[in-house]
Amino acid sequence: MSDNAEFARKFLAAVYPLPPVWAQVLNVVGEAGEFAEAYRRYTGHARRNGSLSETGEELADVVISAYVAAERLGIGLDAFIAEKQVKVMTRGFKEQAS
């Protein structure tokens, strides 16, 4: 079990009462939206500027939310990530033009 999965277990043990599982699943989407907005600010595509650090913090929230959702759903996310990494690296890549 990764440190992320262990954190998710500890986090859920500290939360009372637990929100419904669907709320945690939707939280992943909400955090992804916040990450996208932070990236827009960082790249100058929003009304106000943002930093790379803020963007990183929002991306960390996405990962944490995903691990908490996986824990609530009984999904061993580390195993799925390892499996997906193999698929991604073995499916081939488009050749780049010279």
- How far apart are alpha carbons 8 and 70 in whole angstroms? 9
CATH architecture, domain defined by 3-90: Orthogonal Bundle (1.10)
pLDDT at position 93 = 81
- What does the CA dihedral 88, 31, 57, 68 come to, rounded to 10 degrees? -70
Question: DSSP 3-state helix, strand, coil percentages of the chain (rounded to 5)?
Answer: 70, 0, 30
Supply the pLDDT for residue 1. Answer: 78
pLDDT at 96 > cutoff 90 = no
Where do the structural domains in the chain lie, given as residue ranges? 3-90
In angstroms, rounded to a whole number, what is the distance separating the alpha carbons of residues 16 and 91? Answer: 43
Straight-line distance from the first to the last Cα atom of the chain, in angstroms, rounded to the nearest whole number = 43
pLDDT digits (tens, 9 = 90+) for 39-95: 999 999 999 999 999 999 999 999 999 999 999 999 999 999 999 999 999 997 887
